[in-house]
Amino acid sequence: MGKALAGTDFNELIKPASASGRARVESLTKNRKKILFVTSELADLIKAGGLGDVSAALPRALGRFHSVRILIPGYPQVTGSDHPIEVICDLDGYAGLPACQIGRMQLSDGLTVYVVLCPELYDREGTPYGDTHGRDWPDNHIRFARFGLAAAALASGEVCADWQPDLVHAHDWPAGLAPAYMAWQGQQTPSIFTIHNLAYQGLCDLESIPELGLPEDAASAEGMEFYGKLSFLKAGINYADHITTVSQTYAREITTADFGCGMDGLLDLKARRGQLSGIANGIDECWHPESDNRLIQGFTQHEWDGKRANMRYVEETFGLEPSGGPLFVIISRLVYQKGLDLIPQIAEHIVAAGGRLAILGQGEEQIEEMIAELASRYSGRIGFHRGFNETDARRMFAGSDFLLMPSRYEPCGLSQSYAQCFGSLPIARRTGGLADTIEDGVTGFLFEDGTAASFSAAIERALHVYRHPDLLDAMRCRAMVAPRYWRHAAKPYDKLYRNLINQSLAAPVAAARGPEHGWQA
């Protein structure tokens, strides 16, 4: 992580000697706002996908401009980490939500993390959302309502009087109730809700309203009612002051019926009112082929030995023949979204061209079984590891020639950027953030539709490049400088935060949606 960019102690860390340097820091730090990130994943402690990466990297990049702190549920991976947690506040139960405590921890680089301590809800083995078999917890609505209500308490200043946020930035459905509880309580603090994936909507029964302590409003179409259910995602969309999503293309796509998951009408309205914007994800500075100490050996654009060393590691680890042919990899959650049902149809193409394929992932049982079967059919040419392994993932990005991402949709996608960083060319469907981050034929290969024929044609183009080392080298070098690091990519958030904070000071809106709407403090 970008250590020098830590959110809380920027002034201590950067003491420029020159007058111009001092002026620059002064102008950067002037008007530093307090921003609370509400997120269910944080890569330092627990990560299920790209949300964990963004929640770790973006606050640090924003630390140049603002004081950013994070709120996360107290999963065992959080409470059992090496960082001591100081309990700073007790929060009462509310309706069917149990009482909890708020703890505060500091990560090694100074980033402050608030933790919702409620062992009966969070102290469970598994992912942030389900058990070790990937089954969602049946009480996720309670778990994440408690989380959202704790965020509203922090926003109100009740938890920590000397650090009351100027803005709350909530991420994906698990944090969707944070802006909603804030609105129902009549809080003035502005909020942003970022959609990392519209397909995960956080649904529960309408009958949960009393249990979650929601006002009548919640059950309406203007609230969080969604086809006879309650949707946490819709709560975030409807009650936050501004919605962002993680690439420009996805921001357009989600206003259409094909990608809108039933929310396209609502999102189109927000887009037309200027309340929806696409801000492309960046990547953390730690993704660097020269300095990543988890690689077998680092490398640069001028010296590929290290790339070959990582390739040998992948070959050995995945039981692949060292054939000298191209190495393809997949590092992914194994879910419908990722379009991996196309893999059996293109496997023969890869193998016939002398290629090998290493797959790392976990997810839906059916997809895991399909891939395991493929690996046994093409033993020595296709290898599969079920699981989540950050170190192997990095070595696979570094050691491979090509990354396959045939996603049906991809809000932003980070894997393609990590692959590019490490000189592995993504072969991906032209959708969402993949369309925005891959330049076809320059920094990777894009295909248009979700057919095996279209995918195969892109693989054939990649194989053509592979057979021409000069072309391959040129594309790799272009790819390695393509990804945008967060130090640049975070700037639109800074602008948006300032606009919303200024607007809310000029024209407080929240009073219109407070206690008279049924909220009982």
Maximum alpha-carbon separation in the chain: 71
Pick one of 101, 362, 424, 437: the residue that binds ligand ADP (CB under 6 A). 362
DSSP three-state, residue 33 = coil
In the shown chain, the binding pattern of residues 215 to 254 toward ligand ADP, with x for contact by CB under 6 A and - for none, equals ----------------------------------------
Q: Which two tokens stand for residue 353?
A: 């061209």
53 binds ligand ADP (CB under 6 A): yes
Which of 177, 266, 393, 465 is the binder for ligand ADP (CB under 6 A)? 393
Q: Counting contacts by CB under 6 A, is residue 79 touching ligand ADP?
A: no
Tell me whether residue 165 or residue 432 sits nearer to ligand ADP (CB atom): 432
Token pair 């509203």: residue? 152
The answer to whether 49 contacts ligand ADP (rule: CB under 6 A) is yes
Q: Report d(CA 23, CA 75) in Å as an integer.
A: 42
Q: Give the residue with the Cβ less far from ligand ADP, 49 or 399.
A: 49
Residues contacting ligand ADP: total by CB under 6 A: 18
Compute how many other C-beta atoms are within 10 angstroms of the C-beta atom of residue 265: 11
Q: Which of 163, 200, 304, 388 binds ligand ADP (CB under 6 A)?
A: 388
Residue 193 burial (CB < 10 Å; 0-12/13-18/19+)? Answer: buried
**Binding to ligand ADP (CB under 6 A): which residues in 283-342?**
331-333
Q: What does each C-alpha distance from 169 to 155, 178, 222, 330 come to in angstroms?
A: 10, 9, 21, 31
| Distance of alpha carbon 224 from alpha carbon 464, whole angstroms | 51
- Whole-angstrom distance, CA of residue 286 vs CA of residue 293: 9
Contact range with ligand ADP by CB under 6 A, out of 113-121, 202-210, 412-420, 489-497: 412-420
180 versus 331: smaller Cβ distance to ligand ADP: 331
Q: Which two tokens stand for residue 238?
A: 């409807």
Residue indicated by tokens 């249990």: 211
* Distance in Å, CB of 447 to ligand ADP, minimum: 18
Question: Which one of the spans 47-55, 87-95, 116-124, 457-465 is the region binding ligand ADP (CB under 6 A)?
Answer: 47-55
Cβ 148 to ligand ADP shortest distance, Å: 21
Q: How far apart are CA 443 and CA 425, in angstroms?
A: 6
* CA–CA distances in Å: residue 478 to residues 257, 306, 394, 460, 475: 35, 18, 19, 20, 5
Q: How far is the CB of 40 from ligand ADP (least distance, A)?
A: 12
Q: Give the residue, chosen from 390, 449, 460, 516, that forms a contact with ligand ADP under the rule CB under 6 A.
A: 390
Nearer to ligand ADP, 378 or 409 (CB): 409
Report in angstroms how near the CB of residue 346 gets to ligand ADP at its nearest.
20
- The end-to-end CA distance of the chain, in Å, is 40
Q: Is 383 in the site for ligand ADP (CB under 6 A)?
A: no
312 to 323, 324, 393, 423: CA distances (angstroms): 11, 10, 14, 16
Tokens linked to 10: 């920027």
Does residue 174 touch ligand ADP according to CB under 6 A? no
Taking CB under 6 A as the criterion, the residue among 236, 413, 432, 483 binding ligand ADP is: 413
Smallest separation (angstroms) from ligand ADP to the CB of 332: 5
Name the nearest CA neighbour of 401 among 496, 458, 473, 456: 473
User: Candidates 57-65, 340-348, 407-415, 486-494 — which segment interacts with ligand ADP by CB under 6 A?
Assistant: 407-415
List of residues contacting ligand ADP (CB under 6 A): 49-50, 53, 331-333, 360-362, 388-390, 393, 412-415, 418
